[in-house]
């Protein structure tokens, strides 16, 4: 059985005969060196040493992974224990590849989570800035111009006597125009701020959805709501749908 097991290695290394030391010198030189340097009359020379052997003469070329133990029984006899670990090695490599892939995926999730966190902080800061602008804009309305216009109109006759009627009328028209323009400007600013705050709210919703899915990267399967997934997808595409005037309608199938 040993000859049947080892003969392919002799053939692969183009060796003639059945001398195991010839095979060791080619395939396991470290083992042969350990055997030659061992001086005790008996004992363990090599304990489960792994070796890789390339069979280049085969098509395609193959690599075999072996484990070798050598014991010296007495001055003239040795015990060689050789086992094939190729299949185990392949499984180890597959497991290692899976672990590497999982590590890469975990790294990706960590990076994405960090990016989402940074974006979330920026969005929160921008939302606070918009709130402050909205509060400031309320104090910069057309109230003062309205009061000024009322004052000028109430005293138009006296002002006309001081600077002339045409100039007094022109002043009233100018103030009315500024008042109307300021009111229009405040309406547009209010709308712009409201639109921006709606966008900020939408971005926060999308980030929350993304965090929810990033947090489920463990790979464990669980029941999910298909309607919830569709709603999340629609929420993330809301701006695109509105821009292209696309309406979504649910249809209940009986």
74 and 106: one domain? no
Mean pLDDT of 28-36: 85
Mean pLDDT of 124-128: 77
Q: CB–CB of 20/30 below 8 Å?
A: no
29 and 99: one domain? no
Q: How far apart are CA 64 and CA 70, in angstroms?
A: 19
Q: DSSP secondary-structure letter at 140? A: S
For 106, the token pair is 């975990």
For position 212, what pLDDT does the model report? 73
Q: How far apart are CA 117 and CA 111, in angstroms?
A: 10
Q: Is residue 113 part of a domain?
A: yes
Q: How far apart are CA 35 and CA 12, in angstroms?
A: 23
Q: Of the candidates 84, 114, 129, which is a domain's last residue?
A: 84
- For the stretch 39-64, pLDDT in tens is 898 999 888 888 777 765 555 557 77
For position 43, what pLDDT does the model report? 92
Q: Is residue 171 part of a domain?
A: yes
208 and 114: one domain? yes
State what percent of residues in the chain have pLDDT above 70. 89
State what percent of residues in the chain have pLDDT above 90. 2
Q: Is residue 28 part of a domain?
A: yes
Q: Is residue 105 part of a domain?
A: yes
Domain that holds residue 223: 91-243
Residue 81's CB is within 10 A of a number of other CB atoms, namely 12
- Give the number of domains in the chain: 2
Q: How far apart are CA 230 and CA 141, in angstroms?
A: 44
50 and 112: one domain? no
Distance of alpha carbon 217 from the chain centroid: 10
79 and 103: one domain? no
Q: Of the candidates 27, 59, 84, which is a domain's last residue?
A: 84
In this predicted structure, which of 61-65, 199-203, 216-220 has the lowest mean pLDDT?
A: 216-220
Q: Is residue 248 part of a domain?
A: no
Q: Is residue 251 part of a domain?
A: no
Q: CB–CB of 49/30 below 8 Å?
A: yes
Q: Is residue 19 part of a domain?
A: yes
Range with top average pLDDT, 144-148, 190-194, 209-213: 190-194
Q: Of the candidates 27, 58, 84, which is a domain's last residue?
A: 84
In the beta sheet, which residues pair with residue 146?
none
Q: How far apart are CA 143 and CA 148, in angstroms?
A: 9
Q: Is residue 46 part of a domain?
A: yes
Q: Whole-prediction pTM value?
A: 0.41
Mean pLDDT of 145-152: 74
Residue 71's pLDDT band, with cuts at 50, 70 and 90, is very high
77 and 111: one domain? no
For position 73, what pLDDT does the model report? 92
Distance of alpha carbon 3 from the chain centroid: 54
C-alpha angle with apex 182: 180 to 188, nearest 5 degrees?
Answer: 105
Q: How far apart are CA 168 and CA 250, in angstroms?
A: 64
77 and 166: one domain? no
pLDDT at 19 over 80: yes
Q: CB–CB of 28/15 below 8 Å?
A: no
79 and 24: one domain? yes
**Residue written as token pair 């890789």:** 52
Residue 141's pLDDT band, with cuts at 50, 70 and 90, is low
139 and 167: one domain? yes
pLDDT at 140 over 70: no
Residue 222's pLDDT band, with cuts at 50, 70 and 90, is low
The side-by-side arrangement of strands in the sheet containing 43-55 is 43-55, 62-74, 77-84
C-alpha angle with apex 22: 20 to 27, nearest 5 degrees?
Answer: 90
Residue 122's pLDDT band, with cuts at 50, 70 and 90, is confident
45 and 123: one domain? no
96 and 208: one domain? yes
31 and 154: one domain? no
């Amino acid at each position: 059985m040993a000859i049947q097991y080892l003969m392919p290695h002799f053939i692969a290394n183009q060796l003639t005969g059945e001398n195991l030391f010839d095979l060791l010198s080619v395939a396991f030189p470290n083992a042969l060196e350990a055997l030659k340097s061992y001086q005790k009359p008996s004992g363990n020379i090599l304990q489960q040493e792994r070796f890789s052997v390339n069979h280049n003469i085969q098509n395609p070329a193959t690599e075999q992974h072996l484990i070798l133990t050598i014991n010296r029984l007495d001055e003239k006899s040795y015990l060689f224990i050789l086992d094939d670990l190729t299949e185990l090695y392949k499984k180890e490599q597959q497991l290692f590849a899976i672990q590497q892939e999982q590590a890469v995926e975990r790294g990706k999730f960590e990076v994405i989570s960090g990016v989402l966190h940074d974006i979330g902080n920026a969005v929160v800061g921008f939302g606070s800035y918009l709130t402050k602008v909205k509060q400031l804009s309320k104090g910069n309305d057309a109230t003062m111009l309205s009061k000024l216009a009322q004052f000028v109109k109430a005293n138009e006759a006296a002002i006309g006597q001081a600077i002339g009627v045409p100039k007094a009328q022109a002043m009233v028209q100018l103030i009315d125009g500024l008042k109307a323009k300021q009111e229009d400007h405040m309406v547009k600013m209010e709308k712009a701020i409201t639109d921006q705050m709606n966008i900020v709210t939408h971005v926060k919703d999308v980030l929350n959805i993304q965090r929810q899915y990033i947090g489920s990267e463990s790979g464990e399967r669980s029941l999910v709501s298909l309607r919830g997934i569709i709603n999340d997808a629609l929420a993330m595409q809301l701006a695109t749908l509105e821009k292209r005037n696309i309406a979504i309608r649910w249809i209940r199938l009986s």
